Structure 1
Amino acid sequence: MAQGRCSAMAATTVLLCLLLSLHFESARSATFTVGGSGGWTFNAAGWTKGKRFRAGDTLVFNYIPSIHNVVAVNRAGYSSCKAPKGGKVFRSGKDQIKLRKGQNFFICNYIGHCQAGMKIAVIAA
């Protein structure tokens, strides 16, 4: 009988540790609204300055979907303002994108928008 209680206590302890680690992992991630109160718009390229990002943080892109979008691109797409074929395009106007470790690049691929600074480069630790 004592052995059964001990096994149950060990299982409860393991479960509690797992739940706490999940809680602390989610507590470390942050949510950033791209562009602040102005949202995802022109001249956004400098918005990342002074901010620290981590893998798992969420970027929220707020914009009018009939006139903007968000496209996840690579460095070449960011530099050239061209979305690769088959690239992930977000169009909801309230997109939430989790950052992956390393470099993350986003542009608006409506004609002229990226060239007008509607792009961001985020490095997540």
Structure 2
Amino acid sequence: MASINCKSFFTSLMILVALFGVGVDGKVHKVGDSSGWTMMGVDYQVWASSRTFQVGDSLVFEYNNEFHDVTEVTPHDFELCYSSNPLARYQTGSDTVTLTKPGFQHFICGVPGHCDIGQKLDILVFPASLGPVAAPVPGPVRSPISSMSPSPSPLADSPPRSSMSPSPSPLADFTN
């Protein structure tokens, strides 16, 4: 019984680590590399295609905030370059966005016309890698006798079933 609870605990722990990226140090990606977040000279689709983004990573947007901003938008608003209904807006000129969930994320410059000429970035964020934490969870411990049998019983890994009635007496077969 203890091995079943221990196995369940470790399985649950691995699922939580995978979902939330606990203990995982993320990479920092400077958007546009040395060019930064600008309208000219960077193809952000090409820039993003050479990287893998994971939960826990950060995007650093560096730009002149007198001329640009960073606006996170829905996929629909990304396609239309529509910035009037942002999910988030950043305007400091040096913004760090931590990637907290897997899936697509979409960023545009909200200044009219900038997105239309290419100042837009969409990325796919993968779940955090488990790294060294991803050691396999050990299976149930078996006695040497059960491990010597040619094939395991289909009930070997099943929890014991409880019964409300007493077990039959070993003498029951001899009394009839």
TM-score (norm 2): 0.54
| Cα pair distance change 1:84/1:31, threshold 3 Å | same
1:69 aligns with 2:66: no
The structure richer in helix per residue is 1
Q: How far did residue 77 of structure 1 move?
A: 1.1
The structure richer in strand per residue is 1
Q: Tell me how far apart the structure 2 counterparts of residues 114 and 50 of structure 1 sit (CA, whole Å).
A: 21
Q: Tell me how far apart the structure 2 counterparts of residues 78 and 105 of structure 1 sit (CA, whole Å).
A: 6
| Cα pair distance change 1:32/1:84, threshold 3 Å | same
Q: Tell me how far apart the structure 1 counterparts of residues 50 and 58 of structure 2 sit (CA, whole Å).
A: 17
Match of 1:78 in 2: 78
Q: Does the CA contact (< 8 Å) of 1:46 and 1:120 recur in 2?
A: no
1:120 aligns with 2:121: yes
State how many pairs are aligned: 102
Q: Tell me how far apart the structure 2 counterparts of residues 108 and 94 of structure 1 sit (CA, whole Å).
A: 14
Q: Tell me how far apart the structure 1 counterparts of residues 50 and 85 of structure 2 sit (CA, whole Å).
A: 32
Q: Tell me how far apart the structure 1 counterparts of residues 45 and 110 of structure 2 sit (CA, whole Å).
A: 14
TM-score (norm 1): 0.75
Match of 2:107 in 1: 106
1:35 aligns with 2:36: no
Residues 44-76 of structure 1 deviation map (CA, whole Å, 9 limit, x = unaligned):
333201210101210000000000000010101
For structure 2, which runs of at least 5 residues remain unmatched after alignment? Answer: 1-16, 127-176
For structure 1, which runs of at least 5 residues remain unmatched after alignment? Answer: 1-20
| Cα pair distance change 1:51/1:86, threshold 3 Å | closer
Residues 5-24 of structure 1 deviation map (CA, whole Å, 9 limit, x = unaligned):
xxxxxxxxxxxxxxxx9xx8
Q: Tell me how far apart the structure 2 counterparts of residues 46 and 68 of structure 1 sit (CA, whole Å).
A: 21
Q: Tell me how far apart the structure 2 counterparts of residues 52 and 108 of structure 1 sit (CA, whole Å).
A: 22
Higher CA-based Rg: 2
Specify the SS of the correspondent of 2:54: coil
Match of 1:47 in 2: 47
Q: Which amino acid aligns with 2:23?
A: E
Q: Tell me how far apart the structure 2 counterparts of residues 79 and 30 of structure 1 sit (CA, whole Å).
A: 27
Q: Which of 22, 25, 45 lines up with 2:23 in the alignment?
A: 25
